[in-house]
Amino acid sequence: MSVAMPPMQEERPQAPRAAVRPTPFATPILDVRRYNFWYGITQALFDLSLTVPRQAVTALIGPSGCGKSTFLRSINRLNELIPHTRHTGDILLEGVSVFSRGTDPVALRQVVGMVFQQPNPFPKSIFDNVAYGPRINALCAERDMPERVERALRRAALWDEVKDRLQAPGTSLSGGQQQRLCIARALANEPEVLLMDEPCSALDPAATQRIEELMVELKQAFSIVIVTHNMQQASRVSDYTGFFYLGRIIEFGDTKQLFTRPSDERTEAYITGRFG
């Protein structure tokens, strides 16, 4: 896919609030337009429209089963692998539809990395785990691989802990380290977007804090979309937040604003803990 150079940090668009778009971002990395999704005859997502800004952390919150993960897995088209699913509407990545005929889902998933709820390293060495993506996508020659692996591990704040045992199995690490290994594995592909599906729900508070710090660092280079059940987490790490409820997006906007002055009473009820 041809992808434009992301603008510098200070160019991050500042809210043209009165413009045509209701959401405050001039050049979003993801643009979702009236997206509907069905599992069989059950509709899971209803008429989603939102834009995800680049080089920022966007959090999706909402009660269980409200479609956050389904939406996340629509972005990299992982949902397609489930039989009997269908969708209408469109998701644009850098202005190009991820569903267009010219878009290869395999190439798409290289540009849109994903980190899952449970750490799922392969039963290979730490090195081979990180080198997995560059190898299958033939992103660099094998002689450049150590450099690329080191860069990914450094970005995932794991390098210092594993640099002496890169040949140890990835499964021998602790849960938090495994999750950072999975992040490093996703980063080794040099994606544009990093999707994180409740990346901390299986981790202890210390490991969670490390990952949260990591996300704040990573948004310098990547656009991050994170699904979380943890509202404190959303308010801590994200710049923008979307509230999902029953397959619909109820409210989307600046995190501070959404958490302090929600415009929808359902959002307010959820963030104040009255349901969900």
Distance CA 261, CA 29 (A): 26
Which CB atom, from 54 or from 185, has the smaller least distance to other proteins?
A: 185
| CA dist 276 → 78, 82, 126, 251 (Å) | 26, 27, 38, 16
265-271 long-range Cβ contacts below 8 angstroms, 24+ apart = 267/243, 270/61, 270/62, 270/63, 270/243, 270/245, 271/61, 271/231, 271/243
> Shortest gap between Cβ of 147 and other proteins (angstroms)?
19
Q: With the C-alpha atoms ordered 189, 194, 197, 203, is the resulting torsion angle positive or negative?
A: positive
| CA dist 38 → 61, 70, 91 (Å) | 20, 10, 15
Which CB atom, from 130 or from 250, has the smaller least distance to other proteins?
A: 130
Which CB atom, from 189 or from 255, has the smaller least distance to other proteins?
A: 189
> Shortest gap between Cβ of 75 and other proteins (angstroms)?
11
Which CB atom, from 4 or from 107, has the smaller least distance to other proteins?
A: 107
Residues forming the site for other proteins (CB under 8 A): 76, 78, 81, 83, 106-110, 113-114, 116, 118, 120-124, 132-133, 136-137, 169, 171-172, 182, 185-186, 189
> Shortest gap between Cβ of 83 and other proteins (angstroms)?
7
> Shortest gap between Cβ of 23 and other proteins (angstroms)?
27
Which CB atom, from 119 or from 262, has the smaller least distance to other proteins?
A: 119
Which CB atom, from 53 or from 121, has the smaller least distance to other proteins?
A: 121
> Shortest gap between Cβ of 104 and other proteins (angstroms)?
9
| CA dist 135 → 91, 124, 150, 167, 211 (Å) | 28, 14, 15, 17, 26
Contacts of 104 (CB under 8 A, 6+ apart): none
> Shortest gap between Cβ of 116 and other proteins (angstroms)?
6
